[in-house]
Amino acid sequence: MHKFCLVVALAFFATLSYAEGLESAAGTMNVPSNWTYVKLANSSFEMPLPDTYKIETVGENTLFIESDKFTYDGHTINQDYFFLFFKTIPFASNFDEFADNLCYSINGESNLKVTAASGDEFPLEYSITDEFMINDIEIIQVSTNCRGLFPIFVLSYQNRIYYFALADIGNTSNAKLYKLAIENIRPSKNEGITPAVEYLLDQGIVSGYPDGTFRPENRINRAEFTKIVVNATVEDSSSIQGSGCFPDVQNEWFAPFICTAKASGMIGGYPDGTFQPAENVNFAEAAKIVMHAFGLETGEETEAWYENDVKALEERNAIPLSIQSLDQKISRGEMAEMVYRLHAGVRDEPSREFLDL
């Protein structure tokens, strides 16, 4: 089941026994009325935190979350609730792609080698010890030999990975309260409504799901991506028509958009003549499609078919920072950011460079 996961990993360094607090992790504990649900940046989640919480951004895709002395269940907790870092993992879409990177340092950097106090290095070893569901989020408990780590908890949701780890800084952590937080993590109610998404919704270029969410972390396939690009660039909607333009594009809902895109030169097929509409689109493919769709100059042809398209996006500051590689499967949120910047002419947002990818 864990192969279909978006993942959040939580590793805790507690001076209290963590085992007692985690025996029935699939149960529920009520959130105190004076706690607040807080949206975790660059994620689909919000977490209940005491009123003394502090969140600090410490690096790209990395947060510190801390809570000091507070009152719980009529008692004053004189120790830290937790002190952890939260990191977005953009390079993986399931647990198996992430498993070799379970050890992280406090600054959010990946420690691919397991080191002992003596400095000796050992191969990473891990095992999945439990899996359960909370609020439609799958939680995977992992035991590792990472130095200083208790069993890691991996939350998987919508094919993206996030990493939570408690920092071993000499403070104490209450396992019961950690359990309270993790058992009440939930998808954010306003998930994915960024300025880019708001703009595309207002322009009628994209639409959300029936429940009112946008789900920016979901991957987007070639048919869906083509439809959005056509909506963004074809002014006369009555001209969006056609069918049978590829062997695998006949009379489906996406046929008019794909056939319109093909007729206008926005897209081409694969060498075997198919379009493969259900395949998730990667960044290099997306770059080529949007550059052709918006009719933007890309320079002379190079040996690498994608190079000029990506460089042209770079010149327009239209490569989201979450894009890490040319073959990365892009999300709905990344699609929205790319199309928004090109459609609205936004050039003052942070952007990746071609050489970074």
Measure Cα distances from 146 to 3, 13, 128, 263, 329 in Å: 22, 12, 14, 55, 29
The pLDDT, as a whole number, for residue 319 is 95
pLDDT tens digits along 223-265: 999 999 999 999 998 999 999 999 999 999 999 999 999 999 9
Residue with tokens 């799958």: 138
The pLDDT, as a whole number, for residue 267 is 94
pTM here? 0.53
Q: How far is the C-alpha of 55 from the C-alpha of 77, rounded, in Å? A: 19
The pLDDT, as a whole number, for residue 12 is 34
The pLDDT, as a whole number, for residue 309 is 92
Measure Cα distances from 15 to 63, 81, 168 in Å: 22, 12, 10
Residues in the chain, pLDDT under 50: 1-27, 80-81, 168-170
- CA angle 310-282-219, nearest 5°? 130
DSSP class of residue 69?
A: S
The pLDDT, as a whole number, for residue 51 is 78
Measure Cα distances from 226 to 174, 232, 255, 256, 304 in Å: 49, 10, 10, 10, 22
The pLDDT, as a whole number, for residue 213 is 74
Which of 187, 136, 191, 186 lies closest to 336, judged by CA? Answer: 191
